[in-house]
Amino acid sequence: MRPTTETPPPPRTSAAAYAPLSATDRTRLRRGGHKQRTDRSELYALLDEGLFCHLGVIVDGAPRVLPTAYGRIDDTLYLHGSTGARSLRTDAEVCVTVTLVDGLVLARSAFHHSVNHRSAMIYGRPRVVAEEAERTAGLRALTEQISPGRWDAVRAPDRKEMAATRVLALSLAEASVKVRTGPPVDEEEDHALDVWAGVVPVRRVFGEPEPDPLLRSGIEVPRHVVERRSPA
């Protein structure tokens, strides 16, 4: 039995936000330029589908790549962390990459093997969000990224939890999207080989929800959880 009183989550993109993607020196692909996309809606779609990003920072002069949650509102990506986290310092450049793997590309030659994927790279200097309403909006976006519709169903952060959390905002102004799709591209002469070639699709699926062992009896799985689906 599913409750029917839930409202859908608000849209994450206002109509005004669809400027084309930038082409700065570092967002322009040097190799495989045909894989580059310039439509900002593709960036949004990819970010909205992902669950985790990889946050690149520099710590003690060396790169560090941290898997972490994120959320998006219009042209801003929100990240969060403990107020004590070393890697969430600001005033420094970061790179955030979100990658979705779509298929194994099996060619007739080892050289032309590949992976169909979509990836977004965002460059910039995140700012610490100070204003309380935006902090709450950012945390809401982070929660909704994990489970759309979840924020309104759960207890909101209290004062202590808010104080322990740093919310960072990263503009999506400087971003690139790369998409590899379709069958393998083999050398012409290899087509004669007696080798199977093609794509094995890779998909992310959500399994049957597993209730917390401490869940009070009589609480049904809510609709927003039941209906969580990957895009087809």
* Span 40-99, contacts to a copy of itself by CB under 8 A: 51-52, 54-67, 69, 82, 84-86, 93-97, 99
- Determine which residue in the list 17, 45, 173, 199 makes contact with a copy of itself, applying CB under 8 A: 199
Among 72, 135, 140, 166, binds a copy of itself (CB under 8 A): 140
- Judged by CB under 8 A, the residue of 19, 28, 206, 227 near a copy of itself is 206
What distance in Å separates the CA atoms of residue 133 and residue 10, rounded to the nearest whole number? Answer: 16
Q: Which of 37, 150, 171, 173 binds a copy of itself (CB under 8 A)?
A: 150
Burial bucket for residue 170 (CB in 10 Å: 0-12, 13-18, 19+): buried
Residue located via tokens 């007696």: 194
CA-CA distance, 50 to 44, in Å (whole number)? 10
CA atoms within 13 A on the CB side of 174: 14
* Binding residues for a copy of itself, total number by CB under 8 A: 98
Tokens of 60: 């003690």
Stretch touching a copy of itself by CB under 8 A, among 11-19, 34-42, 126-134, 139-147: 139-147
Q: How far is the CB of 149 from a copy of itself (least distance, A)?
A: 11
Figure out which of the listed residues 19, 23, 29, 195 binds a copy of itself, where binding follows CB under 8 A. Answer: 195
Closest separation between CB of residue 16 and a copy of itself, Å? Answer: 28
Q: Measuring CA to CA, which residue among 78, 86, 83 is closest to residue 127?
A: 78
Q: 119 pairs with which residues across the strands?
A: 99, 178
